[in-house]
Structure 1
Amino acid sequence: MRKADIIIIGAGISGAVLAQQYAEIGKKVLVIEKRNHIAGNCYDYMDGNGILVSKYGAHLFHTNDEQVWDYVNRHSKWYHWEHKVLAKVDESLLPIPVNITTVNTIFGLTISSEIEMKKWLDQNRETYLNPANGKEAALNKVGAVRYEKMFRHYTKKQWDKYPEELDASVLDRIPVRMNYDVRYFSDTYQALPVGGYTQLFEAILGHPNIEVQLETDFFDIKDEITGYEKLFYTGPIDRFFEFKHSLEDKLEYRSINFVSETVDTEYFQENSVVNYPGNEVDFTRIIEYKHFGNQKSERTTVVKEYTTGEGDPYYPVPNAKNQQIYEKYKVDADALIDVYFVGRLANYKYFNMDQAFKNALDLFGILESSPEPAFKKAV
């Protein structure tokens, strides 16, 4: 293998940002990627219907962080996109986040102001000052009826666990609006890259000091990798340590099975994303990519998402049991010299896209701010 100053395992957000940052200070960087493409789970491409689709599910960029927004704009043009999600509840399509329209439709009410909405919510939710699990977090947010209709079974399909089996942080993320706002996010910056995410990553990794080696499994060649200054690993942390702490209880990950279909019609559904929170179907949502960027095509592409415990790991399963196992691996990670664990899988932690960009930028800043930075490797 070619010698490099910096070795990076994985060409997703974390790996690409670190590669670009080190290349710009004159380091020779080698990025090793198991898949046959860059961009990690953000990878998108033009399908047979002439529609830009994402191979691993829709990715919606949103942030309040000026540094992250400035960084991504260095590498791509962006267009404003305020994401909206509908949920099929009974026979109605209701907006998520829960807002006045959601409540009025489910309960047959005529709430019309933020004051009325707040009063109704306070009377109908179950108060938990410190929710112990996902169920308590959801009941604290939306109350029992909306919890049952919109979140309980959806959570089971998504995680293969009911909310009470998950950390409170999972359902504490549920946004609730006291008005008619149907935007899924409320961040200052909400946008999608012109031309898609793959071209964004091509720009980030386009520095002449960066070499990307695709279709290469790090674990097949790790004994050949020597002489580097630093190595950054973005894969599952337990795989790096050969599952040494998982002989009885393994870290759990969720994967997604994407089933794509061409429909011979202009549009299949009225929105880009429609969630199916009930038990009447076993998929979690349908994405119609044609809506993003108002793409034009005679036919349309829809993708049903089925979450599963098999396949490539996409995100960790946060609960106390998994956290205890992860902490053992973190001790091993912290003991290594010049090897750093970064990103969602390596840190066994859910990151939004902007958080992944920020985490990588911060890590670079910490490591290169002084000759001997005091830094815990798995952060």
Structure 2
Amino acid sequence: MAYDFLVVGAGFAGAVCAERLARAGKKVLVIDKRPHIGGNAFDCRDEHGVLIHPYGPHIFHTNSKRIFEYLSQFTHWRFYEHRVRAIVEGEAYPIPINRTTINRLYGLDLSEGEVEAFLEKAREPRDPVRTSEDVVLNSVGRDLCDKFFRGYTRKQWGLDLSELSAGVAARIPTRTNDDDRYFGDSFQFMPAEGYTAMFEKMLSSPLIEVRLGVDLDTVKETERWDHMIYTGPIDAFFDYRFGKLPYRSLRFEHSHLPTCDQFQETGTINYPNDHAYTRITEFKHLTGQVHPGTSLVKEYPQAEGDPYYPVPRPENEALFKRYEALAAACTDVTFVGRLAQYRYYNMDQVVGAALKTAENILARDTSAARVAESAVAG
């Protein structure tokens, strides 16, 4: 069978592109090597009936009204503002660092203005700011850096703050007020029925065919298409021609407490300095589900396994640029998504990139059709 588009990957990038193309009347085949849609945002009920995220917590947040309204076509929302605590020397403190964190940690009673002065005195100015260590020291100084960031980063990335590009730490703000929300975005919600239900609606067009547990090599032997949208690892697409791009992986340890209504005070608790895991997430905070028990996940970062996070270092970016040049020469393939673009995207950023990709493809198709019509008329 012939398709207008083959979309490789049924996560956010692939599903958004498929939905947009089908909306424009294109016939789309979506494949994924996993047995489910949704990519890492896939959710399901565990054997105890609790809605969980098998690949770790996914909390939607964005400042883009356009992206929020686009996804709202496929889901109702549950308002949810994520809060995180970090365990330092046996005590739980708000993270990102705020006025409460500093006052409780140091036994102070500073006003917002005094917190600002405290941080100004504590910070170690760095110029230029090249690494994540530069970012953190420049913002909060060495003591807070060592208590909250250095150990967590070492576990998460297998690297010191000084070995990571500045963008990693720049994602985490520092506040002088008591705002203890993890994100400050204008839109903070969770899909009311879960992510998988949202993806099912996104992919429900009769012009979209979804095949799961299928890899690209298999489909190449049996199907035909005009253009491919690839959302997997870009180095794998080119058979690792220049060597493998470094990714950080995760191992998830799920558990259920049958007689515990709530295990921890916030959705996620970070452990920057203790244990081999980085954090524990309790899903009922995120979903609002009522259940007599509760389900948790511990995250253990590791070097090997499925690729989750591109490792942001200058030498890795240079290697990616070589693959990007190969991708640019592929006129019949478009690369989009965290793995295909080797970018540490949030979910909304992936959606935005996919919407732009689909718009560009459809614009090219329209332009090509007009050229063809003009040639026939001429």
Distance across 2 between alignment mates of 1:121 and 1:301? 38
Q: Which runs of 5+ in 1 are unaligned?
A: 375-379
1:301 Cα deviation from its structure 2 partner: 1.0
Aligned to 1:256, what secondary structure does the other structure show? strand
User: For 1:116, which of 84, 95, 114 is the aligned residue?
Assistant: 114
CA distance in 2, matches of 1:372, 1:212: 26
Q: Could you list the per-position Cα deviations for residues 178-203 of structure 1 after superposition, in whole angstroms to 9, with x for gaps in the alignment?
A: 10000111111100001100000000
Residues 1:372 and 1:21: Cα distance change in structure 2 (over 3 Å):
closer
Corresponding residue for 2:171? 173
1:371 Cα deviation after fit: 4.6
In 1, Cα distance between the equivalents of 2:48 and 2:102? 38
Describe how 1:1-379 pairs up with structure 2 within 5 A.
2-112=1-111, 114-226=112-224, 228-246=225-243, 250-264=244-258, 265-278=260-273, 280-371=274-365
Aligned-partner SS, 2:2: coil
Contact 1:18/1:364, CA 8 A, preserved across alignment = yes
Question: By how many angstroms is 1:91 displaced?
Answer: 1.6
Query: Could you give the per-residue CA deviations for residues 155-200 of structure 1, whole angstroms, max 9, x where no partner exists?
Result: 0100011111111111111211110000111111100001100000
Is the 2:51–2:287 Cα contact (8 Å) retained in structure 1? no
Supply the AA of the counterpart residue of 2:58: H
2:62 corresponds to which letter in structure 1?
A: T
Aligned partners of 2:341 and 2:293: how far apart in 1?
41
Q: Could you tell me whether the CA contact under 8 Å between 1:61 and 1:192 is conserved in 2? A: yes
Q: Secondary structure at the match of 1:349?
A: coil
Aligned counterparts of 1:274 and 1:41: Cα–Cα separation in 2: 20
TM superposition shift of 1:46: 1.0
Q: Deviations over 1:227-249 (max 9, x none)?
A: x2210000000000000100xxx
Q: Give yes or no for contact 2:249–2:308 (8 Å, CA) kept in 1.
A: yes
Q: In 1, are the aligned partners of 2:82 and 2:286 still within 8 Å (CA)?
A: no
Alpha-carbon distance between aligned partners in 2 of 1:208 and 1:96, rounded to the nearest angstrom:
45
SS of match in other structure, 1:82: coil
1:87-132 per-position Cα deviation (integer Å, ceiling 9, x unaligned) = 11112100011000111122221112x2111111111111124311
What's the offset of the Cα at 1:293?
3.0
TM-score relative to the length of structure 1: 0.94
Query: 1:154 is paired with a residue of what secondary structure?
Result: helix
Give 1:377's aligned residue.
none
Query: What number of residue pairs does the alignment pair up?
Result: 367
Amino acid paired to 1:176 = T
SS for the counterpart of 2:73 is: helix
Partners of 1:174 and 1:131 in 2: how far apart?
Answer: 15
Shift of 1:220: 3.6
3-state DSSP of counterpart to 2:250: strand
> Which amino acid letter does the alignment assign opposite residue 317 of structure 2?
Q
- How far did 1:369 drift? 2.4
* Cα separation, 2, equivalents of 1:233 and 1:222: 13
Distance 2:132 2:266 in 1: 28
Q: In the TM superposition, what whole-angstrom CA distance separates every residue of 1:326-348 from its partner, at most 9, and x where no partner exists?
A: 11101100011120100000000
Letter in 1 for 2:147: K
Which sits farther off after the overlay, 260-269 or 144-153?
260-269
> CA–CA distance in 2 between the matches of 1:63 and 1:243?
34
What is the CA–CA distance in structure 1 between the aligned matches of 2:51 and 2:91, rounded to whole Å? 29
Q: Which amino acid aligns with 1:178?
A: T
Spell out, residue by residue over 1:136-166, the C-alpha distance to the aligned partner (whole angstroms, 9 max, x if none). Answer: 1111122111100110010010001111111
Find the aligned partners of 2:22 and 2:310 in 1 and give their Cα distance. 30
SS at the partner of 1:161?
coil
More displaced stretch, 215-224 vs 6-15: 215-224
After superposition, the Cα gap between the structure-2 partners of 1:123 and 1:301, relative to the gap in structure 1 and judged at 3 Å, is same
Paired letter, 1:277: P
Tell me the distance in 1 between the aligned counterparts of 2:364 and 2:317: 31
Unaligned runs of 5+ in 2: 369-378
Deviation of 1:223 after TM superposition, in Å, equals 4.4
**C-alpha RMSD of the superposition:** 1.4
Change (3 A) 1:164 1:269: same
The TM-score, its normalising length taken from structure 2, stands at 0.94
